[in-house]
Chains A and B, each alone.
Chain A
Amino acid sequence: MGVSADAAATLQAFTKANDIRFPLLADFRRQMLPAFDAMVTDEKSPIYRYAKRAYFILDRQGVVRYVKIQENPIELLNSEDVLKALKESGAA
Chain B
Amino acid sequence: MRRRMGRGTLGIVMGAVMCLLLTTHASALEVGQKAPDFTLQAPDGKPVKLADLLGKGPVVIFTFIQAFTGV
Specify which of B53, B54, B64 is in contact with A61 (CB 8 Å cutoff).
B54
Given known A-B contacts A3-B61, A51-B64, A60-B58, A8 and B29 have beta carbons under 8 A apart: no
How many residues of B are counted as interface, with CB atoms below 8 angstroms from the partner's CB atoms?
35
Q: How does the 8 Å CB contact mask read for B34-71 relative to A, with 1 for contact and 0 for none?
A: 11111011111100101101100111111111111001
Cβ-defined partner of A33 (8 Å) among B37, B42, B63, B66? B63
Interface presence of B6 (CB below 8 A)? no
Given A14-B67, A32-B40, A35-B38, are A1 and B59 also a contact pair (CB < 8 Å)? yes
For A91, give its contact among B33, B58, B63, B67 (CB under 8 Å).
B58
Enumerate chain A interface residues (CB-CB to B < 8 A). 1-6, 8-15, 17, 23-28, 31-33, 35-38, 47, 50-67, 73-74, 77, 82, 86, 91-92
